[in-house]
Each structure stands twice: as C-alpha cells, then as structure tokens.
Structure 1
Amino acid sequence: MNNQSNPQLGQLVKIRKGRNTDQAAVIVAIADSKFVYIADGDKRKFDQSKKKNILHLELQPMISSEVVNSLNESGRVTNGKLRYAVHSFLESTNIQAEEKGD
C-alpha cells in the first residue's frame, strides 16, 4: 500500500484521472476508505463537491488549516477559502519548480 491511504480533511490533491486531470482541489469530506469529496471553490463548488476514488488523486503534503478549521466549526467551508487554498498551493509549487530550475 502506498502512503496515499490516509487522506485528511483540508488536504490538497492533484487530480490524476478524469476530466479535470492535473488540476488541484481540496478534500472537503471523506466518504470511506476509498472515496473522498473534493472541491476547488471555482469550477467545483463546495455544494457540488465531487466524489473521487483516492487512487485517482495524488495527495499533496499540504493541508489548509483554514479549510480544516471552517469544516470543524460549521461543517462547511466557503468557496473563497477553497480558491485561496488551491491558489496558495499552486503558488508554492510554482516557486519550488522555479527554484529547482536554477
């Protein structure tokens, strides 16, 4: 079993299979040991979160504390917070990619 067996709320993922391949999203709910619900706050809103097989996602080491806190407090998270989490993640990976290129 790979290290991708324990997705966490608020964790960022990269989509590996399906229509949105290579896009980033945030885990907003965990259905069971095989499926999670993801949303990005933009094309995929919190209220229409997508059920995805964990095997089709690449779990990232980053977890958005804002998303986790919001879900724990109210059971919901705003699409703005999701967009911010995805944007922050993409910026951090772009910076890392540029540093590797030097």
Structure 2
Amino acid sequence: MVDGESGSPRIGQLVRINRGREADQYAIIIDVLDETFVLLADGDKRKFDRPKRKNIHHVDLLDYISPEVERSMLETGRVTNGKLRFAISKFVNEELTDWKKGDSLYGER
C-alpha cells in the first residue's frame, strides 16, 4: 500500500531515521503525537512498549505504509514486535529492490 497523496505521517508508515544514534535505520510510525512528533518502533531495538519519540524533521517519510501494521493498530491499538520486524524486512527485501531499479522511494514523481 502506497500513500503518495499527503506528506503528513500516518500510522503504519515506514520511515528512515536520518538524525541521532539510530541514523540510517528503518522504523514504523505507531502513533502521531502532533504535527511535529511521532512515536517509532522497529520490533527489535525499539519495541512497541518502549517507542522512540522523534521529530518528523529528523526522519524521511517513505512512500510505503504497511497494511498489516496499520490494520492491527486500527483494530486493537497494538501491534506485535514480530509484525513490526516482518513489515520492515518485507519492505527492505521487496520495495528497496524495486527502488534500486529506478523508482522513487520518497514520493517525488
């Protein structure tokens, strides 16, 4: 599922962290606190129960929303760490391969 319409963060959206100790790592938005901050988790170093509060200016919003994570968060308000890890690995294995072939990852078309 791709969200190319809006530049605002959404639950289930993948991001690439570009500032701080976790720079160049991927995470998933599990909550949008306000127009400036989001909560991120990756299911590995950052578990769902201890998400990272991050300024959206310090992450790259990727043009990919995990349907599994989005559905789970909307239905139960939670997501398993395994589902977060699965969504990130699925993205890295499938979407990044396509991106390397010339597609734009950040919605700039």
> TM-score, with normalisation over the residues of structure 2?
0.83
Q: Output the CA distance in 2 between the equivalents of 1:4 and 1:35.
A: 17
Counting aligned pairs with the same residue, the percent is: 48
User: Partner residue of 2:88?
Assistant: 86
| Structure 2 unmatched runs, 5+ | 103-109
| Structure 1 unmatched runs, 5+ | none
Q: Does 1:47 align with 2:85?
A: no
User: Partner residue of 1:59?
Assistant: 61
The 8 Å contact of residues 9 and 28 in structure 1, kept in 2 or not, is answered as yes
Q: Output the CA distance in 1 between the equivalents of 2:64 and 2:7.
A: 15
Following TM superposition, where does structure 1 have runs of at least 4 consecutive aligned residues deviating by more than 6 angstroms?
none
User: Partner residue of 2:15?
Assistant: 13
The 8 Å contact of residues 4 and 58 in structure 1, kept in 2 or not, is answered as no
Q: Would you say how many aligned residue pairs link Structure 1 and Structure 2?
A: 98
* Residue identity in the other structure for 2:44: D
RMSD of aligned alpha carbons: 1.7
More helix by share: 1
Q: Output the CA distance in 2 between the equivalents of 1:55 and 1:69.
A: 26
> TM-score, with normalisation over the residues of structure 1?
0.88
Q: Output the CA distance in 1 between the equivalents of 2:6 and 2:25.
A: 18
